[in-house]
Structure 1
Amino acid sequence: MKIDYKVALIGNPNTGKSSLFNAMTGMNQKVGNFAGVTVEKKTGFAKLPDDRIAQVTDLPGTYSLYPKSKDEAIVLEVLADTQNSGHPDLLIFIADASNLKRNLLLYTQVADLKIPVIIALNMMDMADREGISINVDALSKKLGVRVIPISARKGKGIIELKQAIVEATHIPLQADTIDLNALYPGLITRVKHDFIVTNPYLALQLVYQYPYIRYLTAIEISKLKQLENEYDINPSKAQAKETIARYEFINDVLYDTVQRDSKPSQENYSNRIDKVLTHKIGGFLIFILILFLIFQAIFTWARIPMDLISISFIYLTDLLSEHLPPGPLTQLVTNGLLPGLSGVLVFIPQIAILFIFISILEDTGYMARVTFMMDKIMRKVGLNGKSVIPIIGGLACAVPSIMSTRSIENWKDRIITILVTPLITCSARLPVYTLLISLIVPQRMIWGFISLQGIALMMMYFLGFFSAFIVAWVMKKIIKSERKGYFIMELPVYQWPRWKNVGLTMLQKVKAFAFQAGKVIIAVSIILWVMANYAPPGRFAAIERYYQTQQSTKKVTTGEIDRLVASAKLEASYAGILGKTIEPIIRPLGYDWKIGIALITSFAAREVFVGTMATIYSADGDSNHQEAILQKIKEAKNPDSGLPVFTTAVGFSLLIFYAFAMQCMSTMVVVYKETNALKWPVIQFVYMTSLAYLLSFGVYHLLK
């Protein structure tokens, strides 16, 4: 595809930037990362009125070019570095028409970088409702740029905006908004000379922001440090001085172009809702109710599509087994690749439902209130309000939840959130919990309608939240950071969700989950299949000869022999050898080598535990597969003592182990990618596995 224009969208958070991006590009989008960093990069392609193609990049939302997070830092880097692959030919600045004064602060900074700009004046309908009148022509003349009124939510003004992109070659460069040389006389001249920079504001930004600009060399950084010391520059004071000058310019621009006729009714409407939804007691009760509804939806609405996916894979496996020639390759596809792929895709309905709800809550403006309410509680344990989103997301899967921590500005708060999110009970733990609770908790009803097993399951979810908060509090004491955490968030007005935006967000998150987590799980599943189906030479043949003799001398059915052979081969396989190898380590927890194999195989994905137990205990294809597994496990005996393997102590020990252990390779891979350092997934694995081992040890010896 030939790209004729590189366009970037820039603006404050909550100005409708994502809505404009979706309106311009539709489904023609892709999500990746900016070069060299883990900051998400959304790009799309828009067809212009003259049939040329514009590549549109949605830059992270920011209030100014002075970064407070990784997302904001990338904005300055993309705009400052003309050699950056994402450097745009044209900027579209999205401004909230109902809050123009605040939005124009960022615009004046961008304008002084001398990149051609078009202003998309969004939310004009909301400005009208609030009694704000804007003379668009006068505003355009005063700023010296094209100003296009739009309503991104309704798709109004998009054609006019695309036409303005076509005519971008005729847009003159905007004049300076403030006198930059007056801020630090002589400094800009020195920087322009030493660094061959022509733009005055970029020269000033190099001095202010060199710690955040990655393309600078060590020698250049050293020179900038010398200039900083020579001119006695205090970045905070310099920024304050610059901001005052910019607001003087903005006030002058708005004096003749913006008029307010009445009090903002929409703001009063939002305030009235906030009195209920953010009430110090009622607000939390409403939030818990919403969480309960989301939780129920994830595990009830998703059941039908999850069953359909499982049935589809069973049908596909049977079909391939029937039509492909028998042999190792067919076994690899049907017993290795397809189960691994199924293990990823089966949880997509839950991921989709979760992100539909989160997107709705964000689009309506409610999620901003949740982060505001939770900030005070979260901060006491080393988190902040924005940690709520990944914590809630952890109920479905830790992988996308850890990815969502990018919005947390403070490094320490983000790292702690990443480290504790896997402790939240994810959907992959649900099959494990269901199996183990069915083994050790009786099917008893309290007061005729409350299930004792249901209470046990609920307590495991509470244990996840409680342990995450405790560990976060400990991490707060251990991890040191020079920067203090703070929480600043603008509360947007309440609005109806944009269903197209909800759908696109859901599709993007599902795609990210399927491709990022899926590749790792499939690869590991294939490796584990190979380990479970191959053994040192001669072992499998000896097992088959032995059981053939048993069948001929004893009255044993062919089906029973097949199940016994499968169990014996698993014990003799490389996976079985590995299970026997680690048995001395896990024996103090009450586990034997068979459970050890399940612990190893479920490292790829926790839910693999159930399938591994079915294979180990030779569960056949009964109509009630869950009951078949339970019956075989209940009948399992310890060959040394003759006692049941799965006692109450062993069952609770396993529950605790899976509640705390890092049994998820995909999560570790994502943590490595998000932190860009190997030490954090290693620390996470060590502390979670240590907790799992010590607590499981204590529970087993307390109950045995």
Structure 2
Amino acid sequence: MKVALVGNPNTGKSTLFNLLTGLNQKIGNFPGITVDKKVGYCKVSSTQNAEIIDLPGTYSLYPKSKDESIVFQVLADKNNSSYPDVIIMVVDATNLRRNLLLCSQVADLGLPMLLVLNMTDLARKEGIHINVNKLSERLGIQVVAMSARKNDGLDALKKAISHTTAISTQINGVDVKPFAPEAIAEVKEKIKTENDYYALQVLHQHEHLAFFTETEQEEIEAIEKAHHFQSSKLQGAETVARYRYLSTVLTDIVFDTGAEKKFKITDKLDSILTHKVWGFAIFILILFVIFNAIFSWATYPMDWIEGSFGWITEFGHQHLPEGLLTSLLLDGVVAGLGGIVIFVPQIAILFAFISILEDTGYMSRVTFMMDKMMSKVGLSGKSVVPMIGGLACAVPSIMAARNIESWKDRMITIMVTPLVSCSARLPVYILIISIIIPSETVFGIINKQALALMAMYLVGIIAAVIVAWVMKFIIKAKEKSYFIMELPVYRMPRWKNVFLTVYEKSKTFVFEAGKVIIAISIVLWVMASFGPGDRFENIEKKYASALTDTTKNTEHVNVLINSEKLENSYVGILGHWIEPAIRPLGYDWKIGIALITSFAAREAFVGTMATIYSVDGGDEDTSTIRERMLSSINSKTGLPVYTFATGISIMFFYAFAMQCMSTVAVVYRETKSWKWPVIQLVYMTAMAYVAALIAYQFLK
């Protein structure tokens, strides 16, 4: 059985989806459309399983964005792979009248449906009482009262799903035939349907429905023109008629005894959290808490992971036979993978905080506060959602820009979102900060490393705002943008939801980044372990006498041999070839190699450093990548490679550079043109080079 979840945004639809499916879910795309499709599976009775499809949230069947248009596209096409047998209409019990607008529209399509009154616990707290039985009787469908956040009512819902049949939708909704009688009659005959409302929706939305042929589209268009069909005017008339109908439905059903207290706590909190001064100060404080936690809380698990990978490498070298295969496994794959897995605790902490802020309703307030500022630089408040999402990953954030109606706002958002520091930059920042910034506190509570990390994130956000302001004058568009958003009431975070988010995001980070890192590590190991001609043989001959000399330190001689071999390997030759271009930035050839490999993915920087320094051998007293980088000396100057100036230069380069092939691909997919990703790649690389150059030359 296929079950579709339909409802307004902020009704707890995603929470209900997670409650029904748990970890048994996957994310793909709707057929032919680059919109996320969340599908999960659950057992609704002892004999029946259900496939649960979470359709995008929408306020009505009339779409305002690409995501919202999916709902009618799925419900209108019986051949669509997501076409449901049953619809679960999820509504917010604290805002029933507005939520039932979409319910009445979907019901008029004649699809089997049941109604979930979600957030009934909050409704009771606010003094709202709903006569569920009377509502069910009046609508002619099953109504289940529940609270998905508290796992209350799940069994009743599963039972209702298994009992929902094709005859369960009996809502006598709005008679739409008088709106456009001739046009509706002609379309009904053309597409062979008996449903007046389905025919009316086809007249409104046929150009978005891919299952109609070009000829059918032209014929429907001709019917529109012949009968002077005015879509926007009729949508307004229908909405008024539906609210009038819903007023009669809800008479003697909803009793609001706490109308005066409603949203009282939320309003009090908003007076502080969205204040034009204190609101921003609190937001900055919250950011600092997050970044401080990323350093403070993750220390022990990171040390444990680092020690584990060090032990694996040491154990492997002691017990596995010496040779190329052992070196590839330990110095290539294990070293590269260890450079990524070590950052999982910090990635998990970042995603946990983002999930909590979204779940409590605070992230919506940040969007609201930023709208005025964003409008001055050519963006709308809706641009904040993708940009804040960019803290996690630019790819889904750029896809989220589809919700922005204005083409200009959407394009600017897509072009600047990759400047916001994502989780892939986090390993680079943390590694460099741990090398150049001492782990000390200011005033006994403020961690210097956390301040430095927060500063790098703010640099990315400020850069995105400045570039957006410049693009406001470059990208031209006629239409004006607008910003409409519902601010949900404040709620306690759903901890199961937070856990699921952290688990999924961390898993994705490890597996997606891991595939890239392992591939790059293997290629790097091969390039670092072999060189052209007889260079390696000549190096071994050069140090042959030193190895047999008992007065010499054999370990130290081996380090020298490994270092010279690395410089004369294919990767060393490539690094030295590009070194003149990057020397003004304070980089040596090893950093240059990391810059090249991390153009596939930013986090490859850490894996590359781990692989290069593992092959290099390093000092026998140093075991971790950070320690080896700290002890690295520039052969030309005799000074440490990773000075404060070099570290800041590296972080500035990674803050601005477009080093993510996935982002380039998704920008092409979203814009349907190579023009925009190429412009993005060029301007971001230029920004990165210039910023890194200025930082190094100024600080050295």
TM-score normalised by structure 2 residue count: 0.88
Instruction: Find the residue that maps to 1:416 and give its secondary structure.
Output: helix
Distance in 1 separating the partners of 2:428 and 2:211 = 48
Residue of structure 2 equivalent to 1:371: 367
* Equivalent of 1:81 in 77, 99, 117: 77
Distance in 1 separating the partners of 2:363 and 2:509 = 22
Q: How many angstroms does 1:19 deviate by?
A: 2.5
User: How do 1:445-464 residues align onto structure 2 when only pairs under 5 Å count?
Assistant: 459-464=455-460
Residue 471 in structure 1 maps to residue 467 in structure 2: yes
Question: CA 1:676/1:606 → structure 2, altered by over 3 Å: closer, same or farther?
Answer: farther
Q: Contact 1:6/1:90 (CA < 8 Å) preserved in 2?
A: yes
User: How do 1:629-644 residues align onto structure 2 when only pairs under 5 Å count?
Assistant: 629-633=629-633, 635-637=634-636
Residue of structure 1 equivalent to 2:610: 611
Number of residues paired by the alignment?
A: 696
Residue of structure 2 equivalent to 1:147: 143
Q: How many angstroms does 1:264 deviate by?
A: 4.4
Instruction: Find the residue that maps to 2:149 and give its secondary structure.
Output: coil
Deviation sequence 1:272-302 (CA, Å, 0-9, x none): 2222222222222222222211121122212
User: How do 1:667-678 residues align onto structure 2 when only pairs under 5 Å count?
Assistant: 667-668=663-664, 671=667
State the one-letter code of the partner of 1:607: V
Distance in 2 separating the partners of 1:400 and 1:351 = 16
Q: Contact 1:370/1:385 (CA < 8 Å) preserved in 2?
A: no
Q: Contact 2:21/2:40 (CA < 8 Å) preserved in 1?
A: yes
Distance in 2 separating the partners of 1:455 and 1:417 = 27
Q: Contact 1:10/1:59 (CA < 8 Å) preserved in 2?
A: yes
Structure 2 segments unaligned to the other structure (5+ residues): none
* Equivalent of 1:22 in 18, 24, 35: 18
State the one-letter code of the partner of 1:259: F
Deviation sequence 1:311-349 (CA, Å, 0-9, x none): 222333334444444443333332333334334433322
Instruction: Find the residue that maps to 2:605 and give its secondary structure.
Output: coil
Using the TM superposition, name which of 674-683 and 67-76 deviates more: 674-683
Residue of structure 2 equivalent to 1:314: 310
Residue of structure 2 equivalent to 1:195: 191
Question: CA 1:628/1:520 → structure 2, altered by over 3 Å: closer, same or farther?
Answer: closer
Using the TM superposition, name which of 46-55 and 19-28 deviates more: 19-28
Instruction: Find the residue that maps to 1:215 and give its secondary structure.
Output: coil
Residue 563 in structure 1 maps to residue 562 in structure 2: no
Residue of structure 2 equivalent to 1:356: 352
Using the TM superposition, name which of 471-480 and 317-326 deviates more: 317-326
Distance in 2 separating the partners of 1:303 and 1:443 = 11
Question: CA 1:679/1:608 → structure 2, altered by over 3 Å: closer, same or farther?
Answer: farther
Residue 271 in structure 1 maps to residue 267 in structure 2: yes
Question: CA 1:536/1:670 → structure 2, altered by over 3 Å: closer, same or farther?
Answer: farther
Q: Contact 1:637/1:645 (CA < 8 Å) preserved in 2?
A: no
Residue of structure 2 equivalent to 1:164: 160
Q: How many angstroms does 1:93 deviate by?
A: 0.4
Residue of structure 2 equivalent to 1:622: 621
Residue 516 in structure 1 maps to residue 512 in structure 2: yes
Q: Contact 1:435/1:630 (CA < 8 Å) preserved in 2?
A: no
Distance in 2 separating the partners of 1:50 and 1:646 = 63
Using the TM superposition, name which of 614-623 and 89-98 deviates more: 614-623
Distance in 2 separating the partners of 1:595 and 1:366 = 40
Cα RMSD of the aligned pairs, angstroms, is 3.5
Q: How many angstroms does 1:95 deviate by?
A: 1.4
Q: Percent identity?
A: 55
Deviation sequence 1:98-154 (CA, Å, 0-9, x none): 211101110111112211110112223333333333332332232222222222223
TM-score normalised by structure 1 residue count: 0.88
Residue 493 in structure 1 maps to residue 493 in structure 2: no
Distance in 2 separating the partners of 1:260 and 1:644 = 70
Q: How many angstroms does 1:87 deviate by?
A: 0.8
State the one-letter code of the partner of 1:226: A
Question: CA 1:495/1:643 → structure 2, altered by over 3 Å: closer, same or farther?
Answer: closer
Instruction: Find the residue that maps to 2:259 and give its secondary structure.
Output: coil
Q: Contact 1:33/1:41 (CA < 8 Å) preserved in 2?
A: yes
* Equivalent of 2:96 in 90, 94, 100: 100
User: How do 1:154-233 residues align onto structure 2 when only pairs under 5 Å count?
Assistant: 154-169=150-165, 171-175=167-171, 177-233=173-229
Distance in 1 separating the partners of 2:450 and 2:142 = 61
User: How do 1:236-275 residues align onto structure 2 when only pairs under 5 Å count?
Assistant: 236-275=232-271
Q: How many angstroms does 1:15 deviate by?
A: 1.4
Using the TM superposition, name which of 218-227 and 120-129 deviates more: 218-227
Question: CA 1:147/1:643 → structure 2, altered by over 3 Å: closer, same or farther?
Answer: closer
* Equivalent of 2:328 in 325, 328, 332: 332
State the one-letter code of the partner of 1:630: L
Instruction: Find the residue that maps to 1:263 and give its secondary structure.
Output: coil
Q: Contact 1:129/1:264 (CA < 8 Å) preserved in 2?
A: no
Q: Contact 1:652/1:699 (CA < 8 Å) preserved in 2?
A: yes
Residue of structure 1 equivalent to 2:68: 72
Residue 380 in structure 1 maps to residue 362 in structure 2: no
